[in-house]
């Protein structure tokens, strides 16, 4: 099948889903009140960009902590490796909602901080770092056993291994995982609404509650997330195809 036919079929499928979504948004509510929500477009726009900013900060923190975990998991010191593995298992076994609550309230009281925004971002970073560490581990597979043997022969220090051999080879194949992680972080940030952070979910819920337009609010919220996550997913797939060539 040639590319033209494939694109045509994808176009038909996309158009079909867009039509279904439009019909659902337009006709599943007797008297839709979208205008009451959209009149607050400035608040929604602010919440949209807050979500993006929070997600980027979270991803940056998770990249750093995730790399630390990745390096610890590859350590030859059993105690260091055990700390990273046990920490990762505990975090990955904890729902994000619970993680946010534990960091914002018990941990916040322990360190004497009531900055919910900062603590919420810390919770997001802690939650996402083991997944990022796993992504590092997957992309590190590009470094062959022969290269490790050569590094051993030349007595490379551990930081020289990462600086000159491992990291340079990981960067390119890691980019699709990086974009997918950003998409996951953006969707996960919705749970920050439980601590009243003005992101998409919180602001949409407040506006829809004020106007008694709950279903309409969730539809608007859905579209705002799709506007971000679908392009990111497509970009990740395009890059992944180019990397694999």
Confidence tier at 96 by pLDDT (50, 70, 90) = very high
pLDDT greater than 70 at residue 227: yes
Structure tokens, 227 = 């506007």
Q: Is the pLDDT of residue 112 over 80?
A: yes
Residue 245's pLDDT is what?
Answer: 61
Give the pTM: 0.88
Q: Provide the 10 A C-beta neighbour count for residue 225.
A: 20
For 144-158, write each residue's pLDDT tens digit. 888 888 888 888 888
Task: Quickly tell me which residue has 């859905």 as its tokens.
Answer: 222
Whether the predicted pLDDT of 1 surpasses 80: no
Q: Kindly state the average pLDDT of the residues 65-69.
A: 95
The token duo for 222 is 């859905």
Give per-residue pLDDT as tens, 191-223: 999 998 999 999 999 999 988 888 999 999 999
- Computed over its alpha carbons, how large is the radius of gyration of the chain? 22
Q: How many Å apart are CA 229 and CA 90, to the nearest integer?
A: 28
């Amino acid at each position: 099948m040639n590319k033209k036919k494939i694109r045509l079929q994808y176009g038909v499928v996309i158009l079909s889903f867009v039509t279904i979504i439009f019909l659902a948004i337009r006709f599943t509510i007797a008297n839709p009140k979208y205008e009451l929500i959209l009149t607050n477009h400035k608040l929604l726009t602010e919440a949209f960009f807050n979500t993006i900013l929070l997600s980027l900060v979270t991803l940056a923190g998770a990249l750093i902590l995730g790399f630390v975990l990745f390096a610890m998991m590859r350590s030859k010191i059993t105690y260091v490796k055990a700390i990273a593995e046990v920490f990762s298992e505990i975090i990955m076994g904890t729902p994000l909602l619970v993680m946010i609550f534990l960091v914002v309230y018990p941990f916040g009281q322990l360190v004497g901080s009531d900055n919910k925004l900062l603590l919420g971002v810390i919770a997001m970073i802690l939650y996402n770092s083991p997944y990022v560490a796993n992504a590092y581990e997957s992309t590190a597979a590009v470094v062959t056993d022969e290269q490790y043997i050569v590094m051993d022969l030349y007595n490379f220090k551990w930081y020289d291994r990462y600086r000159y051999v491992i990291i340079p080879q990981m960067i390119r194949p890691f980019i699709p995982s990086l974009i997918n992680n950003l998409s996951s972080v953006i969707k996960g940030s919705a749970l920050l609404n439980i601590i009243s952070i003005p992101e998409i979910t919180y602001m949409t819920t407040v506006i829809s509650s004020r106007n008694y337009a709950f279903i309409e609010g969730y539809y608007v919220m859905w579209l705002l997330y799709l506007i971000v996550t679908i392009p990111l997913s497509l970009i990740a797939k395009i890059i992944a195809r180019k990397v694999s060539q």
